[in-house]
Structure 1
């Protein structure tokens, strides 16, 4: 292979690893907020391993997915 193709492949692999390192620790992949009133405001956020909900008082309720196959189908 030519040196340019190998260099481009190495660069793309490095960028992929960088993106993986940035996205995996992020807890807020999908965020939805329900505003009813000040008392009933809820925020739900999910990532690959768990789903959390918080209310307007700042109380968190988190649960882990038992496996990757248990993720919701909607995106």
Structure 2
């Protein structure tokens, strides 16, 4: 169980019980939605810092930053022709 510093352990247990009560299909759907929401938030933040970027440029910048911060993703840089 992930221990968040701002969530008491008994509340974390309730959250985990709720999560585990869902079907695997529902958990997968919710996980995919959370990933999509995280990507949207990242792109929104990039566009706030770089208003000159269009949608494609913002997505490219996001992938480049991911590759810079995670050595396992260096193959992304080659795909983006940088």
TM-score range, shorter chain: 0.3 to 0.5
Greater share of helix residues, 1 or 2?
2
TM-score, normalising length: structure 2: 0.30
TM-score, normalising length: structure 1: 0.32
Asked which structure has the greater RCO (Cα within 8 Å, sep 6+), the reply is 1
Greater share of strand residues, 1 or 2?
1
